[in-house]
Amino acid sequence: MRLLIVSLLLLFSHVSANAGTLHYEATLEDSVWEVSSSPLKCTLTHPVKLFGKAQFYQLAGYQPKFRFYVDQVPVRKGKVSLSSIAPEWKNNEKPRDLGDFKYQKGETPFRYNRKMSLRLMSELEQGMTPIFYFKDWGDGRDDVSAVLSPVRYRESLGEFRACMGQIIPYDFKNVRNTMVNFDSAKFNLSKKARRDLDGAIAYLTRDPSVIKANVNGHTDSRGTHTYNNTLSQQRALAVRKYLIDNGVSISKLSVKYFGKRKPLGKNMTQKGRASNRRVWVELIR
């Protein structure tokens, strides 16, 4: 029954003149899907006149998500039903029930994770019309529906997917302090160290807000001060070279070496010494 009601709501204009029913949808002429792309954020935004804007988005290091900004902010939580209606040329296609969900207070009451976001994207790509169906945020007496129009969606989908394919796969908070370790008396980079440094490289080469990287070399306590000072310098310079070889501007790099003077772990244990044989790369925004 609910799907039948939602289907009938598609017959109304942007805001129905019939009491008790409010319907929001972009017209054929106004329906647009706008792409914004960068190495740190991809968005695909759909304005819905008099209601707000729907947005698929992906941030660096995270999975794609969906949110619906609204012009009138709800002050309490509630429930919303999601359905998907077939276009007229799919005359044998039945409405699809996508589920019932809770919505939150605030400017983005409808928020969904990767699984539901991809479901909505797939519905739109098939030419289907997803509908958010809920009670009004005033006294709850009126039926409200907000629609995602598939018109011109596919024209922007390719560009959005291309952005998602190129977005940095690292979250800044996870790479801002990158530690790489070394074997005893060695300064060559292991495969793991190179992989770990790739996260820092992604931000140093793509995020203009990252203005500097401090590259600090360290050793364990075995050996003389002179030997360890030289070894810590060699380790820091090996990391610096890897960063430069992979596109990082030399002007962003500051190299320091401390020998055995700043241990992280206890040098009397094997585990402690292993943690002290390190280079710490600190990204500065």
To the question of pTM greater than 0.85 for the whole model, the response is no
**Domain enclosing residue 280, as ranges:** 172-284
Q: Which of 67, 21, 16 is nearest to 46 (CA)?
A: 67
Same domain, 55 and 127: yes
CATH number at residue 147: 2.60.40.2540
Q: Strands across the sheet with 41-48, in order?
A: 34-37, 41-48, 52-59, 65-70, 110-112
List the Cα angle 6/155/60 in 5-degree steps.
Answer: 90
Of 166, 186, 216, the residue that ends a domain is 166
Same domain, 20 and 112: yes
pLDDT digits (tens, 9 = 90+) for 257-279: 999 999 999 999 999 999 999 99
Same domain, 145 and 177: no
Residue carrying the six token digits 């060559």: 188
Same domain, 12 and 104: yes
Same domain, 215 and 140: no
pLDDT digits (tens, 9 = 90+) for 111-140: 999 999 999 999 999 999 999 999 999 889
Number of domains in the chain: 2
- pLDDT-flagged residues of the chain (< 70): 1-19
Same domain, 184 and 53: no
CATH number at residue 242: 3.30.1330.60
Q: Partners of 102 in the beta sheet?
A: 79
SS3 133: strand
Residue carrying the six token digits 């070889």: 245
- Long-range contacts of 30-33, Cβ-Cβ distance < 8 Å, separation of 24 or more: 31/149, 31/151, 31/152, 32/152, 33/152, 33/153, 33/155, 33/156, 33/157
Same domain, 34 and 119: yes
